[in-house]
Structure 1
Amino acid sequence: MSAVFAPAQAAADLGAQWEEKLRSGYLDAGLGHHRAPSIAAAYYAHLLRDEAEQAGVPDPESLTPAEHRLLKAWALAHGMPQEVAQCLPTAIFEPTPSWGLRNTGGVGRRTADLAARALREVRTYLDQRVRQEAAQELVRDLLTEHAPIVAIGHSLGSVVLYESLWRKPYPKVDLLVTLGSPLALPKGVFDLLDHGGLIVRGARPPGVKRWVNLAEVGDLIAVPRPLSDHFDGGHTDDVVHMAQVDCHTMGMYLSCGMVAAAIAPYLAAPDELTSAAAAD
């Protein structure tokens, strides 16, 4: 497989995996008689890879000052006291139970490691303008090619998708779904969101008719909550109760009946081939 073909193949593979998960979600919602939509996936990991993958799980000594600040903002959003947050990242990464793990619904070191990796990827995207624009261009190309009725953004993908929807000409989407989103995280994400040069804060993208945000109760990345406290536009917040260890993955969310129930009314046309676009 050539390097040029790899990203396209990765996107196709992701789309197929997510379609299977969404079919499970339709069954979970009692919608088995409906055909789950096909999904066009945006794959941009190769655009962030050399930064986002360095050292695997970030070690305390490898974090940049910007990553330290984002990690602290994340901990404070979870209610961690200032005096404990000052001790980060040790308070998050230590293998024994710490304040952070005990008080955020974490299930152990694996959960903290997942949070650290996700936050590092977010920081890479926000800090490097060239990479940021390349990821947005890829997402916008996907939206232009498929003109989806529903656009789904998960984790960092919710940030990339949100900013992409603020680029003129504003893509028109009937339903925007954000899953496990850190969009409202202050002093690390929310304050840095790019609205296409406009000075606005917490606004719904102009081409989006309705916005639904879903967050699993144990998802450490989806803070602060609810998202509607920080964004205008009449969108809906719901809490998902999956009680699973992998409570931040795209697959977990798509297999949830609440996600299927939010999407299905917009995708009733039986002849709809490419109905949803997703960014993770």
Structure 2
Amino acid sequence: MARVVAVHGVGKQLMGEDTLLKDWYPALCDGIRRAGGPLPSAAEVAVGFYGDLFRLSGRALTVGEPRYTAADVEEGFERDLLMAWWESAARAESSVAPPGAGTLVRTPRAVQTALRALSGSRFFSRLAMRALVSDLKQVRLYLMDQHVRESARTRVAALIDDDTRVVVGHSLGSVVAYEALCASPGHRVRAFVTLGSPLGIPMIYKRLMPEPGRWPGGSGLAWTNVADEGDVVALVKDLRPVFDERIRSVVVNNGVHAHDASPYLTERLTGAAIAGGLDAV
């Protein structure tokens, strides 16, 4: 079975395990190679795929994604996460105007303003508005729809067996991977690597199951959290204060693709964390 289990983030509903593996495996090997570690074979790497849980059912005469607008951003969690992303983007980029007192009022105009501001940021510039709103909804659905949550977590946990030494989670996938590890007592994973993780955002952290802050393994587990300074999704870069001082927190520079999985994986420090797990007895 897989020695490395990789768990993707949001926006992958039109992809699949094999499609993602074609991108993840070479990037993962590049990072390990930079670190001078042992390369796993492609057969030893598995993708924990859950994106189809967010895919609309096919029906006649419809194509692509739902055409979300600002009006589709729901009050509560979705709006709060959107505003958190906006504040984070404004701190990371001087070109993004920060939200003011007037825009923090709970009105449809405030949501529209936030989406417009984010569309002008380096981080979100490649996302259409409907894709950005879709990402918000995927995070909310995972955390608040028990069927989606259990289905995603079960798929990942099913890949983690006695041969698995490393689990890598990107973006929302780090949340899924964290909960899957917590739900797999006695697992033999030796390296947990989180990339661009939102685990430290209070509105996500407090909803973790079985409870916030649990160490996701035994005493032999090494957890490395890797975040780009400009990664808006990884709003909280240092997870140690809310989880455990044992976490190794690393800040990297992914260039213009701050949140993409590939530059995270090709980073030498990421490769070293993965190689360390593969070397572990």
Q: Which runs of 4+ in 1 moved over 6 A?
A: none
Are 1:21 and 2:32 matched, yes or no?
A: no
CA distance in 2, matches of 1:169, 1:203: 12
Partner of 2:248: 236
CA distance in 2, matches of 1:12, 1:112: 26
Structure 2: 5+ residue stretches without partners: 1-12, 58-63, 92-97
Are 1:92 and 2:98 matched, yes or no?
A: no
Q: 2:165 aligns with which of 137, 146, 149?
A: 149
CA distance in 2, matches of 1:117, 1:183: 19
- Cα 1:17/1:107, change in 2 over 3 Å: closer
User: Is the Cα contact below 8 Å between 1:150 and 1:173 reproduced in 2?
Assistant: yes
Q: What is the letter of the counterpart of residue 248 of structure 1?
A: H
What is the TM-score of this pair, normalised by structure 2?
Answer: 0.75
User: What do the CA deviations read for 1:113-132 (whole angstroms, capped 9, x no partner)?
Assistant: 57654333211211210111
Match runs of 1:77-156 below 5 Å: 80=98, 83=101, 84-86=103-105, 88-94=110-116, 98=117, 106-107=122-123, 109-110=125-126, 116-144=133-161, 147-156=163-172
User: Is the Cα contact below 8 Å between 2:197 and 2:234 reproduced in 1?
Assistant: yes
User: Is the Cα contact below 8 Å between 2:170 and 2:195 reproduced in 1?
Assistant: yes
Q: What is the letter of the counterpart of residue 91 of structure 1?
A: T
Partner of 1:250: 261
User: What do the CA deviations read for 1:188-238 (whole angstroms, capped 9, x no partner)?
Assistant: x1111111xxxx432321346111000112211001221212112511111
User: Is the Cα contact below 8 Å between 2:174 and 2:194 reproduced in 1?
Assistant: yes
CA distance in 2, matches of 1:25, 1:215: 15
User: Is the Cα contact below 8 Å between 1:93 and 1:109 reproduced in 2?
Assistant: no
Partner of 1:190: 205
User: What do the CA deviations read for 1:1-45 (whole angstroms, capped 9, x no partner)?
Assistant: xxxxxx9x9213322321111222234x252x7424542111111
Percent same amino acid among aligned pairs?
29
User: What secondary structure is seen at the aligned counterpart in 1 of 2:221?
Assistant: strand
CA distance in 1, matches of 2:236, 2:242: 9
Partner of 1:262: 273
Partner of 1:64: 74
Q: What is the letter of the counterpart of residue 85 of structure 1?
A: L
User: What secondary structure is seen at the aligned counterpart in 2 of 1:229?
Assistant: coil
User: What do the CA deviations read for 1:33-87 (whole angstroms, capped 9, x no partner)?
Assistant: 7424542111111112239x8526x421111223113223444566655624336
Q: Does 39-48 or 203-212 show the bigger shift?
A: 203-212
User: What secondary structure is seen at the aligned counterpart in 1 of 2:56?
Assistant: helix
User: Is the Cα contact below 8 Å between 1:77 and 1:224 reproduced in 2?
Assistant: no
User: What secondary structure is seen at the aligned counterpart in 2 of 1:264?
Assistant: helix
Partner of 1:158: 174
User: What do the CA deviations read for 1:251-279 (whole angstroms, capped 9, x no partner)?
Assistant: 2211222211221133248xx9xxxxxxx
Q: How many residues align?
A: 246
How far residue 93 of structure 1 moved from its aligned partner, in angstroms, is 1.9
- Cα 1:91/1:17, change in 2 over 3 Å: same
CA distance in 1, matches of 2:245, 2:124: 36
User: Is the Cα contact below 8 Å between 2:168 and 2:194 reproduced in 1?
Assistant: yes
- Cα 1:30/1:226, change in 2 over 3 Å: closer
User: What do the CA deviations read for 1:102-150 (whole angstroms, capped 9, x no partner)?
Assistant: 8xx7356336857654333211211210111011110111113x63101
User: Is the Cα contact below 8 Å between 1:212 and 1:237 reproduced in 2?
Assistant: yes
Are 1:175 and 2:191 matched, yes or no?
A: yes
Structure 1: 5+ residue stretches without partners: 1-6, 273-280
